[in-house]
Chains A and B, each alone.
Chain A
Amino acid sequence: MATTQTNAREAILARIRAHLGKRLDESVLEPAHPSDAPAYALPAPGTTPAARFAAALEKVGGHPHRAQNGAEARRILLNLVAERKVQRAILLDAPLLHDLEILSALQQAGVEVLTIAAGDGPAGDLSAAERANLRAAATAADLCISSADYAIAESGTLVLPARRGFPRAAPVLPPAHVALVRESQIVPHLEGLIPQLKAALKGNGSRWGTSCLMFTTGPSRTADIEQTLTIGVHGPGDMDVILVADQNPED
């Protein structure tokens, strides 16, 4: 196996080099013109990032909410929990969720909450049994509550890096996902976010800072049967985002 592998690798690379060495007639292969056209729509003048995010999310079948402060955010969340008759929720770790005291609010409302802690101190790994338990809990939950590292206004997208305290599948397994995001976390578009992401995730030049960077935009959707749009295939059918106005003293 090892030798076939080296052979295959070397043979493929050798063919690439030999064939790329041949210059192709430019009249045959029309060269690309250099262009720096943006990969995003220009924001309509006079609109705020939060308003654009809400409109984009709504357009793809998600449910945006705006909260002036933490109290309002909690109220909106508890309304959703009551409306959807949520009994079990999985709560992912994020500073904003701590700040807004989401856990105690849910518990007071009688929701059974499973928290996934970021774990403090030196990295201890989770055992296979612990992981299996977490997965079972996420599968049985009616709702996943998370924050996001960024939100993209143009497309209504949440940017979620997997990490300790943020499992890859947790927001996808339950039938509903609610994310709470500060307005200051909204960026205009993906293209503008890339340098920020690189700075945040490249760290000290070692490996990329997350094992899985996830972009989530609205509910899980398909049109595979007769081109009819249907939501909630593998992921949640309900995707709510509560945009929380930036911190002000009365919070």
Chain B
Amino acid sequence: MSHPIPLVPFEERAHKALADERLQQALKVATTKFIVHRQEALSLLPDADGLRQRGRAIRERTIAHLDECLIQLESAVQANGGHVHWAQDEVEACRIIVGLLQERQARLVVKSKSMATEEIGLNHALQAAAIEAVETDLGEWIVQLAGETPSHIVAPAVHKTKEQVAELFEKQVGRPVGTDIPALTKIARAQLREKFLAADAAISGVNFAIAETGTLVLVTNEGNGRLASSLPRTHIAVMGLEKVIPTWDDLPALLTLLTRSATGQIITSYVTCVTGPRRPGEADGPEELHLVILDNGRTRILENEYRESLYCIRCGACANACPVYLKIGGHAYGGVYSGPIGAVLTPLLQGMEHFGALPHASSLCGACKDACPVRIDLPRMLLALRAQEVEDKRPPVWERLLFRLYAWGTSHPVIYRLGARLGGLLAWPFARNGWMGRLPVPIVSRWTTKRDFPAPAARPFHARWAEIEREAVPPPSKDESR
């Protein structure tokens, strides 16, 4: 039931994205806007870098005391009348959630944006149990209607045009709707409002869970998080276990780092801090509140040098800053999390076998680390994962032999010269303006499918060097060299 493993390899997905000019245009508009707004919002602070250090320190302290924080969170949620469930993996998580819904005979569920439920493939599990689940974040709803997955942490439907959205909505309401964006938004409001009022339960993510009071913080701009935690009689919140923070005093720094880094807002339109279900005398709020604490590979990450990937607060700034993301978009990553943090987390959470190529989807330029509000060293981890991938699958015998042969050849001048000339001759028919594109030769083609290769020079460097020396530099006379 987990997030599906993509059927086509990363290279192919990336190629497809690279050929999609409209996608690249949309990505450019979106990420440029995010980058500019982020810059502005951070520059308002007297010491933005200091605040990032502070944010990092909070995350470091939290993760270092993760067990205590989670136990405190659990007892505080329970003291408020909420229920806590622990899930080791996606199967357990889906079983718990589907079980809770079935016990309550829930038929319709509204969802408020949650990456964790994408990660556990909850929508498939709900579908299998014949429970209708409706995404209520506008972008997520569009993506759901299209049968796709989000392509950006903050802007899930960045890859869709308004014409495509109109087409999807037309099917939904059964009449032509036009492409005016405010009008489309109104249609979504009306459709989703009905769902909110009719829903038996709400499922949401959690941006921060405050251990000291058992408070779940939901950060949205549309207000769907607020409605989800107010209207249906059951609210199930799903959090990755790293989402906990110790106290209310830790909230302002992390919250404003999140919103400033994500969209350049000082705060989002709605920040909803849920501390338990409805209390007697209150006119709304759920009768029951359930918190699902999800491991799903996270405790494994704690063990080693990838620990700091759990500091992530999911702002998406690393993706916006990434030149590779800018070109290929979120879908090419194939997992739930895209951009540089996705290239680290997806292989760690979902396995190197299927996602070993992702750490290579980076130029290691360091822009992601510079953008990260908690200064996660993404390039370091990308490199470490690459090394691990190479370790995991040692090159085949022929490749190792070839490199041994190459080493031998380059250390024997006569062989080397011969090889260089031969190379130039062999490559000559394929070279165009000094570059070779795709080569039709089996082994070599593996290099040239992904990058153009410089054609060997017609005359090797060592030959030219000897010539230049002969022509231009007269040998020093014995007197001068004294």
Contact = CB atoms under 8 A, between A and B. Distances in A.
Contacts of B223: 172, 220, 233-235
B332 interface: no
A53 B233 CA distance: 36
B226 interface: yes
Interface in B235-271: 241, 248-249, 251-253, 255-257, 265-271
A34 B52 CA distance: 10
Contact of A116 (B87, B99, B222, B283): B283
Given A12-B86, A212-B272, A214-B270, A207 B80 contact: yes
Interface stretch (B117-125, B177-185, B440-448): B177-185
B316 to A, nearest CB: 13
Interface in A63-101: none
A247 interface: no
B36 interface: no
B299 A197 contact: no
Nearest to B34: A227
Contacts of A211: 80, 274-279, 282, 285
B86 A8 contact: yes
Contacts of A25: 305
B427 interface: no
B449 interface: no
Contacts of A154: 266
B222 A233 contact: yes
Most buried by A among B85, B274, B299: B299
Contacts of B277: 211
Interface string B83-122: 0011110001000000100000000000000000000000
B7 interface: no
B269 A223 contact: no
Given A32-B57, A234-B136, A234-B224, A37 B302 contact: no
A62 B224 CA distance: 19
Nearest to A134: B283
B161 A41 contact: no
SS of A interface (majority): loop
Interface string B65-84: 01100110000000110000
Contact of A37 (B54, B161, B251): B54
Interface in A203-225: 207-208, 210-225
A36 B54 CA distance: 7
Contacts of A173: 227
B230 A169 contact: yes
A8 B87 contact: yes
Interface residues of A, number: 89
B185 A168 contact: no
B66 to A, nearest CB: 5
Given A208-B275, A220-B222, A222-B138, A38 B51 contact: yes
Interface in A140-182: 152, 154-155, 157, 162-164, 167-170, 172-173
B92 A8 contact: yes
Contacts of B162: 225-226
A25 B256 CA distance: 30
Contact of B284 (A131, A218, A219, A224): A131
A225 B197 contact: no
B303 A19 contact: yes
Contacts of A109: none
A208 B80 contact: yes
A24 B305 CA distance: 7
A129 interface: no
Nearest to A161: B273
B248 A197 contact: yes
B53 interface: yes
A227 B155 contact: yes
Interface stretch (B40-48, B340-348, B467-475): B40-48
Nearest to B163: A226
A62 B285 CA distance: 26
Contact of B165 (A37, A40, A225, A232): A225
Nearest to A33: B53
B386 interface: no
A201 to B, nearest CB: 8
B145 interface: no
Contacts of B155: 223-224, 227
B15 interface: no
Contact of A19 (B278, B279, B299): B299
Given A225-B181, A234-B222, A212 B46 contact: no
Nearest to B210: A208
A45 to B, nearest CB: 13
Interface string B141-164: 010000000000001111011100
B126 interface: no
Contacts of A235: 222-223, 226-227, 269-270
Given A12-B88, A213-B215, A227 B99 contact: no
A125 B184 CA distance: 40
Contacts of A11: 88
B249 A214 contact: no
23 contacts: A4-B92, A20-B64, A31-B60, A37-B46, A37-B53, A38-B47, A39-B255, A125-B281, A126-B283, A139-B197, A207-B79, A207-B213, A208-B275, A212-B274, A214-B226, A214-B271, A215-B273, A216-B270, A222-B185, A224-B139, A225-B157, A233-B221, A234-B192
Given A135-B284, A235-B227, 18 more contacts: A15-B299, A19-B302, A20-B67, A32-B54, A35-B53, A40-B252, A134-B284, A168-B282, A191-B253, A198-B248, A208-B276, A213-B275, A215-B273, A217-B269, A222-B185, A224-B142, A227-B158, A232-B185
List 4 A-B pairs, minimum CB-CB distance, nearest first.
A37-B50, A235-B223, A224-B139, A169-B230
